[in-house]
Structures are given as structure tokens and as C-alpha cells.
Structure 1
Amino acid sequence: MGANDGILSTASLIVGVAAGAADHVTILLAGVAGMTAGALSMAAGEYVSVSSQEDVEQADIAKEKRELKQNPEAELDELTAIYETRGLPPPLAREVAEHLTEADALGAHLRDEIGLTDLSPPRPLQAALVSALTFAAGASVPLAVGAVAPLDDLQLWVGGATLLALGTLGALGAQAGGASRRRGAIRVTIWGLVAMGVTSAIGSIVGATL
């Protein structure tokens, strides 16, 4: 997602500025600024999102610890009721709840009551760094092509490279998820073409106006 976003947003920015009849230096400056701003924005957004998730999870864990300490019998009944709603007969549900409580009461409640299946702590800084790097890596594709493409044909060069990169990532992403590679490639390519087309048209209009 970060790489796709970096490719498309930077390519659209470059194409839009180029359509406004800007010179090569201005186009590249806009591309670098877009890549930098986008990477930092992705990092900040991911950091805030994962940090918020961490805060919620820590609050849930503290709440369950407190309830298990203050009223363990009620918590055992609650766990039993959960297993009954999932289809276990009451005696078996109670037995399972007792065994899991004895083995790891907190883990059982976090998993089956709250839905925390991944008990590894979130890593906001790591998530922010990965988001920034993937965005920058994607943005480097249209930026590199824009740096070497002739000004007169820059939109075609950048557009073609962008669609190729998007299609490749779309196919790889679909394959990783077990979906159709062709459908994944076509879907992201069409939307990429639309985004660059709209941005180019707006750039032309604004450039002519100014």
C-alpha cells in the first residue's frame, strides 16, 4: 500500500506540474517535495495509528487484569458463557473455561472476550519507518524516470513507467493474497490511469490560467 501510494501520488504530481508547462527543474523539485512530504505524512499517520492501537490494547489488558483480580468467579462465568455461545454444551464449556483459566486466565480473556489474538506489542516507530521507506521507494520510480525523460515527452514516460510499476505491484499483491494476478493488475492500473489523467487535466487548466 505504501509503495503504491508513493508511486501514484508522486507520478500524478509530476504529471500535473508538467502539464502546467513547468520547466524540468520545477517538475523535479515538485516531485522531490511530494516524495518527502508523502513519506513523512505516511510515517506520522502510521505512528499515530499504531500508538492509538497500543493505548487501547494496554487499557484493555489493564482492565482484564483488574477484573480477574477483583472478581475471578464472574470472569470464569463470562468465559464459560462465551464458549456456550460458540456451540459447546454447558458442562464442556465450563470445563474448557476452567482449564484455560488455570493455564492462562489473562490470555484466554484477551483472546476470546476482547479478540486480541496477537499479543505481541505494537511497534509505532517500526511501523512509521516502514511506511516512510515503502512510500519513498515507490515514489523513486516516477521521480527517477522524470529526471531522465525529455521534457516534451515527460508525461508519457512517467505515465508509462508508473502504470507498469503499479501493474506489477498489483499482480504481486494479488498473488500473495491468493487472488487473480490479472484482476489485481488491471484494477490498480485503471485507477492509476484515472488519477494521472485527472491531475494532468487540472494541471493544464491551471497552467493556462496562470
Structure 2
Amino acid sequence: MAESTHPHEPHDSSLASRLNWLRAGVLGANDGIVSTAGLVVGVAAASTDTDAILTAGIAGLAAGAISMAVGEYVSVSTQRDTEQALLKQEKRELAEEPEFELNELTEIYRGKGLSEQTARQVAEELTAHDAFAAHAEAELRLDPQDLTNPWHAALSSAVSFTLGAILPILAILLPPTQWRIPVCFAAVLVALAVTGSVSARFGRSDPRRAVLRVVIGGALAMLITYGIGQLAGVSGL
């Protein structure tokens, strides 16, 4: 007997959610790379003091990771509160107006192209099985068992930002003094090209445009902070 689903076409309801988190992780790493690179390049342009560069890099990493985590927590908490309010309202409507809700579900499936009779049958069968889950999915596009988790989002953002920030810190500290800034520029631009390409693949967009945008943006950020560092003190080059 033929398989009901193609082995290369996953139908897990949480797949889209996981891909969104993965894409957010890539973007978080990208933010960590760019912001920390700009900071350490600016300091390195003003001073050759390794301790000053390291301190600036670690401070930027910590501040950025905390900011990303807090911002993501607040944002996702607000989203979760909204989702829970919508689900609570839907549950109340099902208890108070079951017939109206059944008709509403029928119309949703009619709008998807089913005939009146088939749509009604589908709505009745889904309602008999789990009315709340059926309406949550069809009307709100939510899975009551798989709501967004603000703690997961905060941790993911903090970790991805930290991993991204580590690269420019190492790239600016490990080479000899005269090679610090050129090596950091090169390493950061390569890393941004990778994150831009991965992000584009998740979004199914043209990777060349995505890579070009993120590389140009990162290069501009470092050039600007390098110029500020040059103005603020003696360059280490």
C-alpha cells in the first residue's frame, strides 16, 4: 500500500515554528557579529591596548546578549498573552454558541473550496473529535498545545548573539597587532556571508541579494566605527 505522505515532505505541525526559531537564531548570531565587530574595531582603531579591546568586546557581548534576551522575552510574552486571550475567547464562544461556531467552521472549509455538504461533514467530524482544537487551528491558526515560549525565545536569542559575538572578539585578539583589524574585517565579512546565505535559504529568497545586503551592512558598520576610533585616538596600525 502506498505511503500517505512523502518521506521528504514532513507534516509536523510544529515544523514551521522550529524553522522560525532557527531563522531567528541565525539573525541573532548575525546581530552579535555586526555589533561586536563594530565595537572592537572601533576600540582597536583608537588603541593597541589588548585589555581595553577585550573589555570592550566582553562588555558589548554581555550587554547585547542581555538586551536581545530581554527584548525577545517581552515580545514573545506579549504574543503568548494575545494567543492565550484568543484561545480563552474561542473556548467561551464554543460553550455559549456551539451551533454558531459549527456554522462558522463550516464556512471556513467552504472558503477553502469544499462543497456545502462536505464542509459541513468535515466541521461536524472535527467538532465531535475536538471542537476547541479544530476552531483554534482553522480560525486562529494556533495549536493550543504548542504556544510560543518566551523563555525559549530569550535563551535562543542570548545564545545565538553570544556565539556570533565571540567570532569578532577572537578575530581581533588572536592575530598580531598590525593584523588585528584586517583579519577581523575579513573574518566578519566571511561569517556574515554565511549567515546571510543561511537566512536566505530559510526565507526561500535569493541568497546573493541577502549576502550582499548583510556584507555591505557589516562592512559599513565596521568602517564607521573604525573612523570614529581613528578620530578618538591613535590607531594601532
Say whether the fold is shared (TM-score over 0.5).
yes
Cα distance between partner residues in 1 of 2:51 and 2:214: 29
- Tell me the TM-score normalised to structure 1 length: 0.88
Cα distance between partner residues in 2 of 1:77 and 1:121: 26
Select the residue among 97, 104, 113 that pairs with 1:78.
104
Cα distance between partner residues in 2 of 1:10 and 1:148: 16
Q: What are the within-5 Å matches in structure 2 for residues 58-207 of structure 1?
A: 58-116=84-142, 119-175=145-201, 178-207=204-233
Alignment of 1:48 with 2:48, yes or no, is no
Comparing 168-177 with 6-15, which one deviates more in the overlay? 168-177
- Structure 1 position 113, deviation (Å): 1.0
More helix by percentage = 1
Task: Flag structure 1 segments of 5+ consecutive residues without an equivalent.
Answer: none
Equivalent position amino acid for 1:122 in 2? T
- Give secondary structure in 2 for the equivalent of 1:34: helix
Total equivalences in the alignment: 208
Equivalent position amino acid for 2:142 in 1? L
Cα distance between partner residues in 2 of 1:85 and 1:189: 44
Cα distance between partner residues in 2 of 1:184 and 1:118: 35
- Structure 1 position 183, deviation (Å): 4.2
- Structure 1 position 177, deviation (Å): 5.1
- Give secondary structure in 2 for the equivalent of 1:116: coil
Cα RMSD over matched residues?
Answer: 2.2
Query: Which whole-Å deviations, capped at 9, do the CAs of 1:95-124 have from their partners, x for residues lacking one?
Result: 221121111111111111112157413222
- Give secondary structure in 2 for the equivalent of 1:190: helix
Equivalent position amino acid for 1:84 in 2? R
Cα distance between partner residues in 1 of 2:216 and 2:165: 19
Percent identity at matched positions?
48
Alignment of 1:26 with 2:56, yes or no, is no
- Structure 1 position 170, deviation (Å): 2.4
